[in-house]
């Protein structure tokens, strides 16, 4: 399966190859500040599966996570959490049906507990090198 996604103005295009490793809700304080929300829905792809095919996004970091944003319209395209080898694609850019969340992560920074059936990991789950410690919600 292959999808092409783009920023809101179409200046930056990306090719996504295959299925995401995981779809998550990230509650880290970095995502909260950058996206202006309590958490960010994101699809995690291996870096090799998420390729820029057109345009030249601005790369920057607020804290530790490098991010890519369209120079023209400001759309937040993806983040690259240090040491994970993944690109975290902003879920609102994905075609319908691709985002299927599996868990919440970095819940130690959560604004409020989210009550749903998904696991809520305090930091990163084991799949991303974490401890699998869960929040006691």
Q: What is the pLDDT of residue 123?
A: 96
Q: Which helix (H) or strand (E) holds 29?
A: helix 29-35
Q: What percent of the chain has pLDDT over 70?
A: 100
Q: What is the pLDDT of residue 64?
A: 87
Residue 22 — very low, low, confident or very high, per pLDDT cuts 50/70/90?
very high
pTM for this model (two decimals): 0.94
Full set of structural domains in the chain with CATH: 2-97 (2.170.150.70)
Residue 124 — very low, low, confident or very high, per pLDDT cuts 50/70/90?
very high
| pLDDT tens digit sequence for 47-64 | 999 999 999 999 999 988
> What region does 18 belong to: left with phi over 0, alpha with psi -120 to 50, or beta?
left
Q: What is the pLDDT of residue 66?
A: 96
Q: What percent of the chain has pLDDT over 90?
A: 96
Q: What is the pLDDT of residue 15?
A: 98
Q: What is the pLDDT of residue 102?
A: 98
CA 56, 59, 64: angle at the middle one, nearest 5? 160
> What does DSSP assign to residue 134?
B
Q: How far apart are CA 83 and CA 41, in angstroms?
A: 20
137 pLDDT above the threshold of 90: no
Q: What is the pLDDT of residue 120?
A: 98
| Phi, psi dihedrals of residue 10, rounded to the nearest 5° | 85, 5
Q: Which whole number is the average pLDDT over 73-82? A: 96
Q: What average pLDDT does the structure give for the chain?
A: 96
Q: How far apart are CA 4 and CA 30, in angstroms?
A: 26
């Amino acid at each position: 399966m292959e999808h092409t996604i783009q920023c809101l103005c179409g200046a930056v295009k990306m090719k996504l190859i295959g299925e995401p490793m995981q779809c998550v809700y990230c509650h880290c304080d970095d995502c909260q500040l950058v996206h202006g929300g309590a958490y960010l829905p994101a699809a995690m792809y291996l870096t090799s599966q998420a390729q820029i095919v057109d345009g030249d996004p601005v790369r920057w970091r607020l804290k530790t996570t490098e991010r890519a944003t369209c120079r023209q319209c400001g759309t937040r395209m993806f983040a690259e959490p240090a040491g994970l080898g993944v690109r975290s694609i902003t879920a609102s850019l994905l075609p319908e049906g691709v985002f299927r969340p599996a868990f919440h992560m970095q819940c130690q920074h959560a604004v409020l507990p989210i009550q749903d059936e998904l696991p809520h990991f305090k930091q990163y789950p084991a799949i991303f090198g974490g401890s699998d410690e869960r929040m006691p919600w």
